[in-house]
Amino acid sequence: MAWTVEAAGQTLAAFVKSQTGAAWSVTKRQVTGGKVFVDGACITQIDHRLTTGQQVELRTNAPKPRDPTREGELVYDDTHVVVIDKPQGVNSVPYEERELGTAMDLIRGAWRRMGKDATSVPLHVVHRIDRATSGLLMFAKTKKAEVGLAAQLRAHTMERQYICVAHGVVSTRRIESHLVADRGDGIRGSTTRLEQGKRAVTHVEAREALRGATLCAVRLETGKTHQIRIHFSESGHPLVGETVYIRDYTTGMLTSARLMLHAHTLGFVHPVTGERVSLSSPLPADFTAVVDRLRL
């Protein structure tokens, strides 16, 4: 069974129930059990908000989704540094006491499955990527590594490239602004009062024209919270799948069950050995599915 969302704002569970007439308990089991797909992506959150034009499908014979605690491949792991390929929908670090299912938990889960010490090895935060963003995320396992990697971030010598899909025709450019936690309407954004904001620089390379959107490669010179999302939105090209930084965008929004932003490559000098490390993460299937749908 499949339907098209005609009005934005409904939760996924409420929408499916309205279409099937099933009891709430049945609908919740269908959603959390991995039977419901939005634009081809399996969504298990009952409170996931839908937007106009999205395709919702109920697959009663769909296989059980993967255990999220087993996701997140370790791309690099030695005595001092570990890098995980973080799935979208997973927090980098816990924001509440005893919060589970973060990237840190995925790393420790991978260590347990490999028979490694998963409890006593510390994980020091080097940088973060948004919950809605997938891709490469690095932690330091020793204090020496933490200090060395933090110095590279401050010096802007760590290479971080993202792949994204943004609304409209995006041109290759450099974006610079000063970001504040509240631009006056309750959300992060840029300010003209330079002394109040933190300098943020984003380098954008337009890669491919899509239907109503552009596939871009993005290099971070600085790494402020939501920097890419804010810079694209304020330039009139919010990311496809964006749900926060869309207030100023009045053109029709393209649909995607996920934020179209992926941390694609990561390059750094190993803080102990001095060797150059270059890592990459392939685009996830749910990301490429949206790109393929938008290709001309």
Whether residue 292 lies in the annotated active site: no
Query: Rounded to whole angstroms, how far apart are CA atoms 58 and 248?
Result: 33
pLDDT at 65: 47
Say yes or no to pLDDT of 249 above 80.
no
**Rounded mean pLDDT of 5-31?**
90
What pairs with residue 74 in β-bridges? 84
Instruction: For the chain, give the mean pLDDT.
Output: 90
| Mean pLDDT score, 182-204 | 87
Task: Give the phi and the psi of residue 153 in degrees, each rounded to 5.
Answer: -65, -45
Catalytic residue, from 130, 182, 248, 286: name it. Answer: 130
Classify the C-alpha dihedral 79-77-106-102 as positive or negative: positive
Using one digit for the tens of pLDDT, what is the confidence trace for 44-86? 778 888 888 889 999 876 555 444 444 678 999 999 999 999 9
2-58 and 68-294 share one CATH topology?
A: no
Segment among 13-17, 73-77, 193-197, 199-203 with least mean pLDDT: 193-197
Q: Which one-letter amino acid corresponds to residue 239? A: L
CATH code given to domain 68-294: 3.30.2350.10
Name the percent of the chain lying above pLDDT 70: 95
Q: Which residues of 231-246 are buried (b: 16+ CB within 10 A; e: fewer)?
A: bbbbbebbbbbbeebe
* CATH dotted code for 2-58: 3.10.290.10
How many whole angstroms separate alpha carbon 13 and alpha carbon 279?
A: 39
C-beta separation of 168 from 243 below 8 A: no
| Domain limits, the chain | 2-58, 68-294
What local confidence, expressed as pLDDT, does residue 71 receive?
60
As to burial, measured by CB atoms within 10 angstroms (0-12 exposed, 13-18 middle, 19+ buried), residue 116 is exposed
Interatomic CA distance for residues 107 and 69, integer angstroms? 9
What pLDDT is stored for residue 112 in this prediction? 92
**What average pLDDT does this structure show over 89-115?**
87
pLDDT at 169 over 80: yes
